[in-house]
Amino acid sequence: MIASRTYEEAPVRLAQWLPQRRRWLKGWMQTVLVTLDRRERSSRHLSWGGALLIHGLLTGGIVSLMSYPLMFAWPLLLYAMPGLWQALDTPAFDVLIAISLFNVGAFVMAALVSAIRGLSRIRRRRLALLLPSLPVYYLLMSFATWQALGQLLRAPSTWEKTVHGISKDRRTPAASV
């Protein structure tokens, strides 16, 4: 989208990464709330198409992350409870399952293609070996999203800080004189 590259230091441990993601996701949620409020000055300057675009990206991302565990939970629930599977065994339910499986497959493929393209662009294809860990990453993102929602409800003006300057492998370019 933007042809520039940033050189911020990424958190190197989960204890640093999780607060950063919570802060980002809480910010997304607040942005969504502001764009829903047509009385807000920033929202009044958005066209309906612009507001729809923001909600498609931010609200869609938030809802997707919150529902991510359900993609895996519902099949496990059905298989763990054979009586429920038999009770729901109808043509309409079969179509629903087919659509759900297609959506899960499309999500996984989109994530993989996006990751591979990104790695190719920065010439780090060897990191593609880590792609099987993406489901765990998205599960952690879902966890952070639920936590961010809790923080938004309890303390909307409190923000967690991320510690910087601890990575031994910094890629920040040298300052130009």
The pLDDT tens digits for 110-152 are: 989 999 999 999 999 999 999 999 889 999 999 999 999 999 9
Residue 147 falls inside a structural domain: yes
Please tell me the total count of domains within the chain. Answer: 1
Cα–Cα distances in angstroms (integers) from residue 150 to residues 22, 70, 147, in the given order: 10, 19, 5
CA proximity to 13, closest of 147, 128, 140, 148:
140
Looking at 37-88, list the stretches that DSSP marks H as alpha helix, in order from N- to C-terminal side.
41-44, 48-54, 60-80, 82-87
- Tell me which of 128 and 54 has the higher pLDDT: 128
Read off the pLDDT band of 177 (50, 70, 90).
very low
Read off the pLDDT band of 50 (50, 70, 90).
confident
Residue 111 falls inside a structural domain: yes
- Tell me which of 156 and 94 has the higher pLDDT: 156
Residue 150 falls inside a structural domain: yes
Residue 75 falls inside a structural domain: yes
Query: Residue 59's CB: how many other CB atoms inside 10 A?
Result: 17
CA proximity to 13, closest of 166, 145, 143, 118:
166
Structural domain span for residue 34:
15-154
Residue 137 falls inside a structural domain: yes
Residue 45 falls inside a structural domain: yes
Residue 167 falls inside a structural domain: no
At position 163, the amino acid (one-letter code) is: V
Residue 6 falls inside a structural domain: no
